[in-house]
């Protein structure tokens, strides 16, 4: 079967997932508004501090806003299409993964089309902060229009990196079943850390965020060139093969993990 | 006795997951460490008010550890789950008031989190950042009272959030909004006096400062026991609110499954 066949099938599954979610419109609207409130509150936290105290280690409020927005948008993209990869623990503890295994589609595709989460609240909020920060940086002449396509590019590569990390973390669940605690470390804490410039952290922590859990490549590393012109454009282009490599390793690990899956639950 | 049994069961249930929770503690401690690093970065070139850099590290360490007492409460006290499974109808039939039942179970949870999460995390910070304990025992006593009041308020807030699950399937969003507001208005990362004046006004009109800011200020010796009056007043208001909510819930009860 061709790639087109699988993509068409995936599109059908996604459409049906969205339709099922839209059966509860009021809940969807409530979720959207409240998600936006959460995002605003999170950004206000750092915006207030930087507004009061000025730049932090040479990073202005606009620059930190850019880091925050790119991370938010990459994460939104990842969680929209791979919500249930993140929630694999539910499938493992209840034994629901067995049902997916019986379907005539690759298990990852079945999982990724289960509960597509439309996240307009996060998308709007991330987009608004990105617009505000890039507008501010353009007005001061720090960046030019070319930063825009670069930014779109790194949002997509960032989503791939986050997906790869999420997939690798979920795969560990095939051995230990409960992964929420691990996800707090590899996803929540790591993603929160790189909303701020890595220069704030000691070198051991920076190394972890670039090598062990490579979230630093989602926003911080590309922003060194996009916002500050440091190193060169290869810094941005180089992230694509790196994201590809992380994805390849993540998928390999996932396939290996699946062979170790033992059903649980009632 | 029944109330104590409910609480101790919740405590004992958690004991089985001590290993996993210790891993979680590392992540939680890391969060606080990140925030401390940010304040260290900011404080490198400028003074940080009455706190100073070391004071702000102590502030972040205490609020991060206290989150497990007044922040990370069971989502809606488990009521949304009970509504989904139909268990809520049985809970309402029990010869125990629903609010008291949920509250006692949560006290057990909080007691566990205090022993196995707050204390280890704070001890880690004490070693890492060379923090010291308050010199007067009364400071410790008032801090504990402030924290206990904060825990009670948080239980009440989550009871009300849980009750909304009878009207919407998305009540968990309210839990996360509440959490985001704790981060912003309770002085978790930024002391309330550094918020813009309009946000300070909103913050002090709400119970949020009493969840983290007030206990932290008392613990660090910046505020005295008089601040506890506000905590107690909010506890009374929340108790009345929860009793009122229970009356409404009894008339509304609806289950989503079974």
Q: Is B170 on the interface with A (CB under 8 A)?
A: yes
Note whether residue A266 is domain-resident: no
Note whether residue A265 is domain-resident: no
A20 three-class SS? helix
C-alpha R_g of chain A: 19
Whether B255 has a pLDDT exceeding 70, the answer reads no
CB-based contacts of A164, cutoff 8 Å, min separation 6? A243, A246, A247, A249, A250
Note whether residue B258 is domain-resident: no
How many Cα atoms are found within 13 Å in the side-chain-facing hemisphere of B205? 6
Domain span holding position B11: 2-251
Residues of A whose CB is below 8 A from B38:
46, 49, 56, 196, 200
Whether B117 has a pLDDT exceeding 70, the answer reads yes
Check: CB of residue A199 under 8 Å from CB of residue A55: no
Q: Is B19 on the interface with A (CB under 8 A)?
A: no
Q: Is B129 on the interface with A (CB under 8 A)?
A: no
Note whether residue B257 is domain-resident: no
pTM, two decimals, is 0.84
Note whether residue B203 is domain-resident: yes
Note whether residue A264 is domain-resident: no
Note whether residue A7 is domain-resident: yes
> What is the sign, positive or negative, of the torsion defined by CA atoms of A105, A111, A116, A122?
negative
Cβ distance of A38 and B28 shorter than 8 Å: no
Euclidean distance between CA atoms B90 and B104, whole angstroms: 17
Q: Is A99 on the interface with B (CB under 8 A)?
A: no
Domain span holding position A147: 3-258
Whether B9 has a pLDDT exceeding 90, the answer reads no
Instruction: Give the model's pLDDT for residue B47.
Output: 83
Backbone angles phi, psi at A56, to 5 degrees: -115, 115
Instruction: Give the model's pLDDT for residue B256.
Output: 58
Whether B219 has a pLDDT exceeding 80, the answer reads yes
How many Cα atoms are found within 13 Å in the side-chain-facing hemisphere of B217? 20
Note whether residue B206 is domain-resident: yes
Euclidean distance between CA atoms A77 and A159, whole angstroms: 6
Cβ distance of A44 and B44 shorter than 8 Å: no
Residue spans of alpha helices (H) in chain B: 2-15, 18-43, 52-70, 79-85, 87-93, 98-113, 119-129, 137-163, 171-185, 197-205, 213-220, 228-252
Longest alpha-carbon distance in chain B: 61
B211 three-class SS? coil
Instruction: Give the model's pLDDT for residue A265.
Output: 56
Whether B253 has a pLDDT exceeding 90, the answer reads no
CB-based contacts of B250, cutoff 8 Å, min separation 6? B92, B98
Backbone angles phi, psi at A191, to 5 degrees: -70, -35
Number of domains in chain A: 1
C-alpha distances (whole Å) from A82 to each of A178, A188, B18, B209 are: 18, 15, 30, 37
Chosen for mutation from A25, A31, A41, A209 (greatest number of chain B CBs closer than 10 Å) is A41
Buried b (16+ CB within 10 A) or exposed e, B139-154: beebbebbbbbbbbbb
Give the nearest chain B residue to A202 (CA atoms).
B37
Residues of A whose CB is below 8 A from B179:
38
Note down pLDDT in tens along chain A; length 266 residues: 677 877 787 778 777 777 777 777 777 777 778 777 787 888 888 888 888 887 788 888 899 999 999 999 999 999 888 888 888 888 888 888 888 888 877 888 877 777 777 777 788 888 989 999 999 999 998 989 999 999 999 999 999 999 999 999 999 888 887 888 888 888 888 998 999 999 989 999 999 999 999 999 999 999 999 999 888 889 899 999 999 999 999 999 999 998 888 877 55
pLDDT in tens, B33-60: 999 998 998 888 788 888 889 999 999 9
pLDDT in tens, A15-55: 777 777 777 777 777 777 877 778 788 888 888 888 888 77
| Short-list B11, B237, A13, CA closest to B3 | B11
Check: CB of residue A68 under 8 Å from CB of residue A76: no
ipTM value, please give it: 0.80
Euclidean distance between CA atoms A247 and A235, whole angstroms: 19
Instruction: Give the model's pLDDT for residue A148.
Output: 94
Chosen for mutation from B75, B173, B178 (greatest number of chain A CBs closer than 10 Å) is B173
Shortest distance, CA A201 to any CA of chain B (angstroms)? 6
Residue the block writes with tokens 């609480």? B7
Shortest distance, CA A149 to any CA of chain B (angstroms)? 30
Q: Provide the percentage of residues in chain B whose pLDDT is more than 90.
A: 46
Note whether residue A263 is domain-resident: no
What integer is the mean pLDDT of B195-223?
Answer: 93
Backbone angles phi, psi at B169, to 5 degrees: -85, -5
* Chain centroid, CA A185 distance in Å: 14
Number of domains in chain B: 1
Residues of A whose CB is below 8 A from B183:
41-42, 45
Chosen for mutation from B31, B180, B213 (greatest number of chain A CBs closer than 10 Å) is B180
pLDDT in tens, B130-162: 888 888 899 999 999 999 999 999 999 999 999
| Short-list A75, A74, A43, CA closest to A61 | A43
Whether B91 has a pLDDT exceeding 80, the answer reads yes
Touching A: B residues 198-227, CB under 8 Å: 199
Q: Is B183 on the interface with A (CB under 8 A)?
A: yes
Check: CB of residue B45 under 8 Å from CB of residue A205: no
> What is the sign, positive or negative, of the torsion defined by CA atoms of B195, B199, B202, B206?
negative
DSSP labels, B151-178 = HHHHHHHHHHHHHGGGT-TTHHHHHHHH
> Which residue of B24, B190, B195 is in closest CB contact with A181?
B24
Residue A119 exposed, middle or buried by CB count within 10 Å (0-12, 13-18, 19+)? buried
Check: CB of residue B76 under 8 Å from CB of residue B171: yes
Buried b (16+ CB within 10 A) or exposed e, B75-95: bbbbbbbbbeeebbeebeeee
| Short-list A14, A32, A66, CA closest to A226 | A66
Cβ distance of B20 and A27 shorter than 8 Å: no
* Chain centroid, CA B56 distance in Å: 20
Euclidean distance between CA atoms A156 and A152, whole angstroms: 7
CB-based contacts of B257, cutoff 8 Å, min separation 6? B84, B85, B86
Instruction: Give the model's pLDDT for residue B41.
Output: 87
CB-based contacts of A266, cutoff 8 Å, min separation 6? A94, A95
Euclidean distance between CA atoms A222 and A241, whole angstroms: 13
Euclidean distance between CA atoms A189 and B29, whole angstroms: 10
H/E element, A99 = helix A97-101
Instruction: Give the model's pLDDT for residue A157.
Output: 96
Instruction: Give the model's pLDDT for residue B254.
Output: 64
H/E element, A111 = helix A107-112
Cβ distance of A45 and B190 shorter than 8 Å: yes
What integer is the mean pLDDT of B162-191?
Answer: 86
């Amino acid at each position: 079967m061709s790639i087109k066949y699988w993509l068409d099938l995936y599109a059908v599954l996604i459409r049906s997932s969205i339709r099922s979610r839209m059966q509860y419109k009021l809940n969807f609207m409530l979720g959207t508004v409240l998600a936006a409130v959460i995002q605003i509150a999170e950004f206000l936290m750092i915006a207030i501090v930087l507004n009061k105290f000025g730049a932090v280690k040479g990073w202005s409020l606009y620059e930190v806003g850019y880091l925050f927005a790119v991370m938010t948008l990459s994460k939104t993209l990842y969680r929209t299409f791979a919500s249930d990869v993140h929630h694999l623990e539910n499938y493992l503890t209840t034994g629901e993964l067995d049902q997916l295994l019986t379907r005539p589609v690759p298990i990852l595709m079945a999982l990724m089309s289960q509960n597509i989460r439309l996240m307009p609240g996060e998308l709007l909020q991330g987009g608004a902060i990105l617009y505000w920060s890039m507008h501010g940086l353009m007005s001061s002449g720090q960046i030019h229009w070319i930063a825009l396509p670069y930014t779109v590019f790194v949002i997509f590569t960032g989503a791939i990196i986050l997906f790869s990390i999420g997939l690798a973390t979920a795969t560990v669940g095939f051995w230990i079943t409960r992964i929420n605690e691990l996800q707090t470390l590899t996803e929540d804490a790591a993603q929160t850390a790189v909303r701020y410039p890595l220069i704030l952290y000691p070198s051991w922590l920076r190394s972890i965020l670039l090598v062990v859990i490579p979230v630093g490549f989602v926003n911080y590393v590309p922003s060194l060139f996009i916002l500050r012109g440091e190193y060169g454009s290869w810094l941005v282009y180089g992230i694509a093969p790196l994201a590809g490599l992380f994805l390849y390793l993540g998928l390999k690990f996932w396939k290996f993990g699946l062979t170790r899956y033992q059903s649980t639950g009632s | 006795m029944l109330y104590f049994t409910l609480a101790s069961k919740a405590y004992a249930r958690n004991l089985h997951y001590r290993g996993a929770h210790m891993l979680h503690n590392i992540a939680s401690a890391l969060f606080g460490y990140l925030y401390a690093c940010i304040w260290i970065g900011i404080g490198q070139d400028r003074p940080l008010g009455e706190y100073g850099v070391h004071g702000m590290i102590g502030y972040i360490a205490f609020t991060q550890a206290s989150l497990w007492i007044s922040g990370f409460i069971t989502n809606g006290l488990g009521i949304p789950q009970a509504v989904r499974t139909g268990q809520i109808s049985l809970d309402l039939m029990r010869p125990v008031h629903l609010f008291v039942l949920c509250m006692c179970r949560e006290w057990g949870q909080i007691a566990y989190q205090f022993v196995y999460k707050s204390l280890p995390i704070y001890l880690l910070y004490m070693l890492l950042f060379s923090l010291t304990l308050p010199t007067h025992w009364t400071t410790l006593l008032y801090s504990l009272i402030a924290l206990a009041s904060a825990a009670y308020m948080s239980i009440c807030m989550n009871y009300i959030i849980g009750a909304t699950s009878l009207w919407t399937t998305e009540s968990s969003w309210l839990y996360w909004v509440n959490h985001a507001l704790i981060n912003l208005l309770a002085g978790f990362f930024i002391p309330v006096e550094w918020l813009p004046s309009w946000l300070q006004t909103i913050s002090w009109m709400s119970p949020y400062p009493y969840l983290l800011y007030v206990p932290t200020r008392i613990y660090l010796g910046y505020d005295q026991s008089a601040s506890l009056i506000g905590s107690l007043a909010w506890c009374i208001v929340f108790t009345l609110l929860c009793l009122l909510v229970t009356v409404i819930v009894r008339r509304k009860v609806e289950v989503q499954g079974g």
